[in-house]
Structure 1
Amino acid sequence: MISSVRGTVLSALGSTVVIEVGGVGLSVQVTPACALALRIGEQARLHTSLVVREDSLSLFGFVTVDELSVFELLTGVTGVGPKSALGVLAVLSPVQVGRAVADDDDASFRKVSGIGPKTAKLIVLSLAGKLAITAPPATARSAAAGAGVADKVLAALIGLGWSERVAAQAVDETLAEASDTDRISVPVVLRLALARLGPAKHSAERNA
């Protein structure tokens, strides 16, 4: 089992990235947002799940452990393959998946390409009681949005190639402007921070 990979990004196209590990280029399937965040020629670390089929070995990568956990739960649902599970995480964050399951909201999963009404309902039924990734009550949100989320997002940004100084500033500014709902989710804060940083700013940092 390959549980994680760390190395130089050789290419990032669509939903496929190639990361060189020990002189070997590993092809990893990721969400489009993750692929856009990776920078060719720079170091990256992804949590991974190896899917074994009779005719193939496929590696799926994620920035956070929560995303990996949800992916593996989704692939255990009848009718949900690894590509469909990846599609769910391209549309919904782990917190949003947990909330949809807790609220018996199969409509959220029907928004994902390839997920029909029956499969969406089955996802909700199959994942009920298995997800601890749900939004806490409003009174606990301030605490949940503290150092834990900030530290995880900071580590993810550094793993994607940003300097600690630039990453820390982006995390602080993102959390300051995010809503209570957004700031409790590591994937959401990560996406907002990446949008704030932008490829142009990252290029400028490299050339500085």
Structure 2
Amino acid sequence: MIASLRGSVLEALGSTLVVDVQGVGYAVTVTPDHALSVRSGEEVLIHTAMVVREDDMSLFGFPDRERLEVFDLLRGVTGVGPKSAMGVLAALTPEEIASAVTNDEDAVFRRVSGIGPKTAKLIVLSLTGKLIAVRTSAVSRRPAARGADVLIALVGLGYQERAAQAALDTVLAERPEERQTAVLLRAALSALGPQAVR
């Protein structure tokens, strides 16, 4: 199993990178945006998934572990193969995928080439509750957002992100000067009331 590659880019063509690792060139399928973001001769670290089939062995590469994890989750959905999973990641960021799943918006996936209505619904159903890490990491990358830590905590406790965000928005509006995470968290939990977590 090849989990990652570190080496220099020999070629970046379309959706394929050829990475030289100590004299061995590995062909890696990536998204077009990923291929465009690197240059020949550049040193790269690519997180990879190796897909082995009876008549084929392919490497799929990603700039970070987050995208690799989403790729693996997508491949676990009935009807979604590695190429379709790459198509989803080429069209949507992990945060957009997580948001579509959280908000039950299968139409987002229907806009991806090769994903039909039935598969789009299956993606939402199959990934529900499995993208918490993606959502919380997205929130954590916004350090200036007041209450970001509170939202992470609420999602971690099992509340649906949409309900948690609504409660937090209410608390932030009522307490515009409050900055203490513990105080905001208690208020948000109170606003959420006894509703069941996920």
Normalised TM-score (structure 2)? 0.69
User: Partner of 1:118 in structure 2?
Assistant: 118
Counterparts of 1:13 and 1:144, CA distance in 2 = 31
Q: Larger RCO: Structure 1 or Structure 2 (Cα < 8 Å, ≥ 6 residues apart)?
A: 1
Which ranges in structure 2 are unaligned for 5 or more consecutive residues? Answer: 145-198
Q: Once the 2 structures are TM-superposed, how far is the Cα of residue 134 of structure 1 from its aligned partner?
A: 5.1
Counterparts of 2:6 and 2:54, CA distance in 1 = 27
Larger radius of gyration: 2
Which aligned segments of 4 or more residues in structure 1 are displaced greater than 3 angstroms? Answer: 133-136
Counterparts of 2:101 and 2:141, CA distance in 1 = 20
User: Partner of 2:143 in structure 1?
Assistant: 146
Q: Once the 2 structures are TM-superposed, how far is the Cα of residue 34 of structure 1 from its aligned partner?
A: 0.3
Counterparts of 2:34 and 2:100, CA distance in 1 = 22
User: Partner of 2:87 in structure 1?
Assistant: 87
Query: What's the CA shift string for 1:86-110, capped at 9, x where partnerless?
Result: 0100111111111111111101101
Distance 1:88 1:127, change over 3 A: same
Counterparts of 2:134 and 2:46, CA distance in 1 = 23
Q: Once the 2 structures are TM-superposed, how far is the Cα of residue 144 of structure 1 from its aligned partner?
A: 3.7
Q: Once the 2 structures are TM-superposed, how far is the Cα of residue 135 of structure 1 from its aligned partner?
A: 4.2
Paired residues of 1:75 and 1:85 also in contact (CA < 8 A): yes
Normalised TM-score (structure 1)? 0.65
- What aligned pairs does 1:151-190 form with structure 2 within 5 A after superposition? none
The code of the aligned residue for 2:12 comes to: A
Counterparts of 1:19 and 1:6, CA distance in 2 = 8
SS of residue matched to 1:20? strand
- What aligned pairs does 1:1-208 form with structure 2 within 5 A after superposition? 1-133=1-133, 135=135, 144-146=141-143
Distance 1:133 1:107, change over 3 A: farther
Q: CA RMSD in A?
A: 1.7
Paired residues of 1:95 and 1:133 also in contact (CA < 8 A): no
Structure (1 or 2) with the greater helix fraction: 1
